[in-house]
Amino acid sequence: MADPALRGGRTGWWRPYRAVLASRVRAQTSYRGSFALDLASSVLIGLVELAEIWVLYRSVDALGGLDLAAVLLVFGIADTAFSTADLFVGHVDTLPRYLRAGTLDVFYLRPQPLLAQLVTSEISVRRVTRIGVGLTALVVGLAVNDIAWSPLVVAFLVVVLVASTLTFAGLFVAAAGVQFFLVDASEMTNAVVYGGRYAATQPASVWGKPLVALFGFAVPIAFTAYLPVVALLGLPGAEWLPSWLGWLAPLAAVWTWAVALLAWRTGVRHYQGGGG
């Protein structure tokens, strides 16, 4: 019977999560050929996206106030942050499949919070190479730009990377919460998540009003890479967003997570109410 004395021992709150994740990593890397293919294709996709920027900047010197060096830094921060979030949290967009297969009901039978279980139910190891592409762009971007290095700048970069990763992770979770209502239309949330990823690598100063409303404020994508770079390099920035806003990247993460947890909570309520 449920004797508390027999539990514990090798405990630690992370043990259940670690057990699942460790076995997921083993399972993914066990098919070596397939795994190598995934690693390679992640790099290729990253390179093609970089190539797009390069092709565009062959014809122009600057876009929206950013030259190629600056936009490389934007791409580096955005891609590193998004790919890291994708590695740890990206699979939550499989929620519709979990709902159809009843896997979520099984999560209810385990003594951990549902969202924590969903996030740790999988890890996409194949994205590490994509993070590598982002980091390379970031390092090159830092080297080719004229940056007055100081401990503050280093701290700023670390904070921005963490905050942006959290913003994208929150975006994934918010999308999952919405999918409780839109089981058949996960492409709709993908529009915001992957549109957000694409938007994050752009100079936000070129956006029209609808995009400013969507990716400037509602989903604070401009805060993940563009605004911090503008602040870091001391660029003029967009007229609708003063450059000091780049310091508010952590606030964007907090805002995204507030929305994400609300969306998740509402979604779970809807599911438990039988609307799923």
Q: Which is nearer to another protein, 10 or 146 (CB)?
A: 10
34 binds another protein (CB under 8 A): yes
Total residues at the site for another protein (CB under 8 A)? Answer: 74
Task: Report d(CA 78, CA 168) in Å as an integer.
Answer: 9
**What gap in Å lies between CA 114 and CA 98, rounded to an integer?**
12
Q: Residue 62, SS3?
A: strand
Say which amino acid occupies 9. G
Q: What is the CA radius of gyration of the chain?
A: 20
The mark string for 91-110 relative to another protein (x by CB under 8 A, - otherwise) is ----------xxx-xx-xxx
Is 273 a binding residue for another protein by CB under 8 A? The answer is yes
3-state secondary structure of 66: strand
Question: Beta partners for 62?
Answer: 67
Question: Residue 44 interacts with another protein (CB under 8 A)?
Answer: yes
Closest separation between CB of residue 8 and another protein, Å?
6
Question: Is residue 25 within the footprint of another protein (CB under 8 A)?
Answer: no
Quick check: 244 binds another protein (CB under 8 A)? no
3-state secondary structure of 63: strand
Of 10-18, 162-170, 242-250, 258-266, the window that binds another protein (rule: CB under 8 A) is 10-18
State which of residues 73, 131, 138, 192 lies at the interface with another protein (CB under 8 A).
192
Find the binding residues for another protein in span 213-242 (CB under 8 A): 214
- Interface with another protein (CB under 8 A), residue from 56, 155, 218, 258: 56
Distances (CA, A) of 239 to 72, 204, 205, 212, 244: 22, 11, 8, 12, 12
Among the residue ranges 59-67, 81-89, 145-153, 240-248, the one whose residues contact another protein (CB under 8 A)? 59-67
Of positions 25, 52, 143, 234, contacts another protein by CB under 8 A = 52
* Residue (6 or 148) nearer to another protein, CB: 6
Residues 150-169 that bind another protein (CB under 8 A): none
Q: By C-beta, is 20 or 135 nearer to another protein?
A: 20
Q: Does 146 bind another protein (CB under 8 A)?
A: no
If the CB atoms of residues 157 and 268 are measured against another protein, the closer one turns out to be 268
**Chain center to CA of 240:** 25
| Residue found by looking up tokens 């294709």 in the block | 41
Under 8 Å between Cβ of 88 and 123 = yes
Residue 113 touches another protein, criterion: CB under 8 A: yes
How far is residue 272's CA from residue 11's CA, in Å, rounded to a whole number? 30
Burial class (CB in 10 A: 0-12, 13-18, 19+), 159: middle
Q: Is 186 in the site for another protein (CB under 8 A)?
A: yes
Structure tokens at 103: 């896997």
User: Which residues neighbour 37 within 8 Å (Cβ) at sequence distance 6 or greater?
Assistant: none
For the CB of residue 63, give the shortest distance to another protein in the complex, in Å: 5
Q: Which is nearer to another protein, 45 or 154 (CB)?
A: 45
Q: Which one among 29, 94, 112, 145 touches another protein, defined by CB under 8 A?
A: 112
